[in-house]
Amino acid sequence: MRASQDGTLELAERVAKLERQNRFWKIGGIAAIVALACSLTAGVWAQARVLPRGAERAFRSRTVEAEHFVLKDASGATRGEFSVTPQGPVLEIFGPAGKVIWSTRSGPRPAGD
């Protein structure tokens, strides 16, 4: 009779341990699902707040076409321009004073070049 009681106690301890482990994995799984859902919701919410309606179509294009591109800083000052002129493409970089400090604009070149 003693062996039967020891086996029952051991079995009860093992079942209790398995129930604790099962509870741990259930809580962990639910927490992981909630965290994933929150991160997905936050990502969708951020995109919805940043992009105006219809703007997602602009990002699907693989080509941007223009004759003139202007690069401006946060204050609105022009820092660079890339354009196509009848003489060819031109890239210009502007300094803090708003004057051209570097340019690819080509002028007349000597015949030896």
Cα 74 to Cα 70: distance, rounded to the nearest angstrom? 13
* pLDDT tens-digit series, residues 68-110: 999 998 888 999 999 988 888 899 999 988 888 988 876 554 4
Name the nearest CA neighbour of 71 among 98, 87, 93.
93
Domain boundaries, given as residue ranges, for the chain? 2-57, 66-103
Give the Cα-Cα-Cα angle 89, 91, 95 (nearest 5 degrees).
160
* pLDDT tens-digit series, residues 24-71: 999 999 999 999 888 888 877 776 666 566 555 555 667 778 889 999
Cα 20 from chain centroid?
40
Q: In this structure, what token pair is assigned to residue 27?
A: 């809580």
